[in-house]
Structure 1
Amino acid sequence: MINSELLPYCMGKPGAEQSVHSDWKATQIKVADVLFAMVHDMENRPAVSLKTSPELAELLRNEHSDVRPSARLNKAHWSTVYLDGSLPDSQIYYLVDASYQLVVNSLPEEARKQLPR
């Protein structure tokens, strides 16, 4: 998988908005102005940084060499997943879904109600 394949999937989430973080050369995907995915290159490889529970982050990092603590975000909650590595595309899509849902669940009720369905 490459970045241009993952970006449309992220943008297909209800309320997803895209911006560019020029300092990090990354595309940030947010819902209600809260980051849930950051698509970028890391070590000249396509990658995405995603939010998870600390327990899932630790499990993924222990089982997959292509999942690492995020270099620029809270390492307890954010992992960088290489898109061209050992994780199957289906698992990457699942992690995007989980990151999005984690962020949506943390939004105030009023913000959740305003999301398109």
Structure 2
Amino acid sequence: MKENIIEYGLKKKGAVPTHPFGLDSLVIKVEGKMFALIFENIANQMIINLKCDPVIAANLREQYDNVRPGYHMNKKHWNSVTLDGSVPEQDIFYMIDHSYDLVVKKLPKSIRESIQNPS
């Protein structure tokens, strides 16, 4: 599951894998802005942190036990999802899409257009 999720995130236009917190965690960025952080917690569980609209974030937390406020992140705008199979992979892909879109939407128009319409 983890490999599919990483692969999916890296297929987003302009996505770049980085390791600013060491080799044990993967941060996926677009234009220098993080939209996904994948790491192993102290209980040896794989976690992905994703940016999320606050209303959608609250709904996802109600829907899934393993979607929680973002670990070491702004709890209002980030969710942590435990990658243990309890959240369907397709739903995690949707969450990655949403996180990416939120980050891209905040980029300057010229950069946003270059990502969305590469020449």
Same structural fold, with TM-score higher than 0.5 when normalized by the shorter chain: yes
Q: Distance between the aligned counterparts of 2:63 and 2:23, measured in 1? A: 27
Is there any run of 5+ residues in structure 2 with no aligned partner, and where?
none
RMSD: 1.6
- Are residues 1:8 and 2:22 paired? no
The alignment's TM-score, normalised by the length of structure 1, stands at 0.90
- Are residues 1:84 and 2:84 paired? yes
Q: Which runs of 4+ in 1 moved over 4 A?
A: none
Following superposition, the deviation at residue 23 of structure 1 comes to 5.3
Q: Secondary structure at the match of 1:96?
A: helix
Following superposition, the deviation at residue 25 of structure 1 comes to 3.2
The 10-residue stretch of structure 1 (33-42 or 107-116) with the greater mean CA deviation from structure 2: 107-116
Sequence identity (%) = 35
2:101 is aligned to 101
Q: Distance between the aligned counterparts of 2:85 and 2:11, measured in 1? A: 23
- Are residues 1:47 and 2:51 paired? no
The 10-residue stretch of structure 1 (15-24 or 86-95) with the greater mean CA deviation from structure 2: 15-24
> Residues 14 and 90 (structure 1 numbering): CA distance in 2 closer, same or farther, change over 3 Å?
same
- Aligned residue pairs, count: 116
- Are residues 1:62 and 2:62 paired? yes
Is there any run of 5+ residues in structure 1 with no aligned partner, and where?
none
- Are residues 1:18 and 2:17 paired? yes
Q: Distance between the aligned counterparts of 2:85 and 2:60, measured in 1? A: 13
Q: Secondary structure at the match of 2:19?
A: strand
Q: Distance between the aligned counterparts of 1:65 and 1:21, measured in 2? A: 29
Higher strand proportion:
1
Q: Which amino acid aligns with 2:66?
A: D
Q: Distance between the aligned counterparts of 2:31 and 2:87, measured in 1? A: 29
The alignment's TM-score, normalised by the length of structure 2, stands at 0.88
Q: Distance between the aligned counterparts of 2:23 and 2:9, measured in 1? A: 19
